Structure 1
Amino acid sequence: MPATVKIWDPFVRIFHWSLVASFAVAWLTAGELKNMHEVAGYAAGVLVASRLVWGLVGSRYARFTQFIRSPGQTIGYASDVLARREARYLGHNPMGAVMIVWLLLAMSVVAITGWLQTTDAFWGIEWVQETHDISANLMLILVALHVFGVIFSSVRHSENLVRAMLTGRKAAAEAGDVS
């Protein structure tokens, strides 16, 4: 059995799967079960806020400074992917980092506009509802791209990234890997 290392701490893993669940529940209850939809939306908002804090003070691979790369590095990585010569990253790769930023941003917009619709000041305001709906639909596109990226990277590097997000462990670094 190959050596493994702990990458994803319990907070990151619990956050990830809890956000998956809260978004799924909110999506599936939209327009049908208002109370459950709102609770799921509030949960998603709290989760995102918590993850933003953990991205500043959390464990090594949870920190934004560890995985968010410059635009040049990200474009270089994307070019390497197209050329099929990309490095394996122990944490998030540069394109995965871009996806995380987009997912957190879109989920924040969904949660904030959902909350705004419950306030007296913004209840019934069309642009708030439209922004909520558009950002929720954007989340579906981002989730699909995220799942595709996970499958693609798992195949390219012979590594089960879903299992890694469940156990927190990945294969130890080898020559050429980025830790």
Structure 2
Amino acid sequence: MSSNMQQTINVWDPLIRIFHWSLVGFFTLAYLTEGEDEWMNIHSYAGYSILTLLVFRLLWGVIGTHHARFNHFITRPSIAWTYLKQLFSGNAKDYIGHNPAGALMIIALITSIAVAGFSGMALYATDSQGPLATSFFATWPEGALKEVHEFFANFSLFLIATHIGGVIVSSLLHKENLIRAMVTGKKQRPLIQQDERQ
């Protein structure tokens, strides 16, 4: 069988793709409206939307499709580090779903964005606003909450930039368009690799 014959593989289901691009949009909206009083309602609702999306992703990571499930791609940091070294030496394994470095990035992004979102809700509660306004979170120190919120919002942006860089590097080294794959949900692979799917 010729190795240049290609097959189309369905990788990312529609819900994962909707989650991914919705998170991109709502995070961008939340970040751009941060600290602007006249945009606070938009900022807060973008934050609520982000947290709702993260809850969905955690649920879908347990009951979702094969490549979306955490038990399919979560691995130890040492394996991710080994993968990165192999990637830059040009002999990394080609994964159909998330590679080990991408998996580690997903966990880091979910954690960082979740802390940014929850600390933002708690900060909003100190002004007697939002769903936590009557909870004990409203009594937390406003200054500390603001610092936590801003740190994790900026750290999330750093992780996103790193993630984009990783996608570009991986796309170039593996000769595939990972951004297009997250739009279409499909990847192309040689037929000879059919039995090597991960």
* TMscore range, shorter length: over 0.9
Percent pairwise identity: 41
Q: How does 1:92-103 map to 2 (within 5 A)?
A: 92-103=98-109
Q: Is 1:149 aligned to 2:166, yes or no?
A: yes
Counterpart in 1 of 2:147?
Answer: 130
Question: Does structure 1 retain, via aligned residues, the 8 Å contact 2:109–2:159?
Answer: yes
Cα distance change, pair 172–100 in 1 and its aligned pair in 2 (3 A): same
Counterpart amino acid of residue 91 in structure 1: G
Report how far residue 123 of structure 1 moved: 6.6
User: Which among 152, 155, 160 is matched to residue 177 of structure 2?
Assistant: 160
Displacement of 1:82 in angstroms is 3.0
CA RMSD of superposed structures (Å): 1.7
Note the 1:74-113 alignment, pairs <5 A.
Answer: 74-113=80-119
Contact kept, 8 Å, 1:87 with 1:177, in 2: the verdict is no
Structure 1 position 64 matched with structure 2 position 70: yes
Quick check: 1:26 aligned with 2:30?
yes
1:60 touches 1:66 (CA, 8 Å); kept in 2?
yes
CA contact (8 A) 2:77 2:104 kept: no
Q: Hey, what's the Cα distance between the residues in 1 that align with 2:47 and 2:32?
A: 12
With structure 2 as the length reference, what TM-score do the two structures score? 0.85
1:44 & 1:52 partners in 2: Cα distance? 12
- Structure 1 residues without counterparts, runs of 5 or longer: none
For these two proteins, the number of residue pairs brought into alignment is: 179
* 2: CA distance, partners of 1:23 / 1:123: 25
1:15 is matched with: 19
What is the Cα deviation at residue 95 of structure 1? 0.2
Q: Partners in 1 of 2:196 and 2:20 — Cα distance?
A: 24
Distance 1:177 1:73, change over 3 A: farther
Q: Please tell me the residue identity of whatever aligns with 2:95.
A: Y
CA separation of 1:6/1:116 partners in 2, compared to 1, >3 Å: closer, same or farther?
same
Mapped contact 2:87–2:173 kept (Cα < 8 A): no
Q: Which secondary structure state, in structure 2, belongs to the residue aligned with residue 155 of structure 1?
A: helix
* Per-residue CA distance 1:107-128 (angstroms, 9 max, x = gap): 1001100110122424762111
Say whether the 8 Å CA contact 1:80–1:86 is kept in structure 2: yes
SS in 2 for 1:117: helix
Which residue identity does 2:13 align to in structure 1?
D
TM-score by length of 1: 0.94
Answer yes or no: is 1:6 the counterpart of 2:10.
Answer: yes
Q: Which residue of 2 aligns with 1:48?
A: 54
Structure 1 match to 2:186: 169
* Runs of 5+ consecutive residues of structure 2 not aligned to the other structure: 127-137
CA distance in 2: counterparts of 1:77 and 1:11, whole angstroms: 28
